[in-house]
Amino acid sequence: MSQSLAPPRFIIIVIFNSVFFFSSVSRFEKNLIFERKVYDFDLASTKGPVKKIRKPKPWKHTQPITKAELVKMREEFWDTAPHYGGTKEIWDALRAAAEADISLAQTIVDSAGVIVQNNDLTTCYDERGAKYDLPKYVLSEPTNLVEES
């Protein structure tokens, strides 16, 4: 006789605008520890926290920039991003997603276990609760991108 396994569940606790993710401690224990509102999402349901990603809304840089300047800004961000916290594996997955088309980006994000807060990938979390903020310039081009001369 085979037993069916329950789908994985994660506990998300919000305290003073900080988000904490747990998977191994019971909901009852979380209520005792934090005495705060606990949101319990079932990842197997269609109404779980998984968000479909989309391209960022059009945006304008503070001053017109060239494609070369944009590429340089992106490289500087990705080179320094792991120093702001989180894991290198998640940063690498976010970079791959940022540089891919939308359908592939969704697959990358889902496979890496990234929890998307903003549909445009500007704010994400990993399963341990580390926050990943991505600037719009790594996700899309500005409306005031100029031709190089």
User: What's the pLDDT tens digit per position in 4-17?
Assistant: 555 555 555 555 55
Q: Can you give the chain as a three-state secondary structure string? A: CCCCCCCCEEEEEEECCEEEEECCCCHHHHHHHHCCCEEEEECCCCCCCCCCCCCCCCCCCCCCEEHHHHHHHHHHHHHHHHHHCCCHHHHHHHHHHHCCCHHHHHHHHHHHCCEECCCCCCEEECCCCCEEECCHHHCCCCCCEECCC
**What's the CATH number of domain 65-146, 1.10.3080.10, 1.10.20.10, 1.20.225.20, 3.40.228.10?**
1.20.225.20
Q: Compute the average pLDDT of residues 53-79.
A: 93
Answer whether residue 30 shows pLDDT above 70: no
Query: What pLDDT, on the 0 to 100 scale, is given for residue 47?
Result: 40
Answer whether residue 111 shows pLDDT above 90: yes
| Every domain of the chain and the residues it spans | 1-49, 65-146
Query: What pLDDT, on the 0 to 100 scale, is given for residue 19?
Result: 53
pLDDT band at residue 42, thresholds of 50, 70 and 90? very low
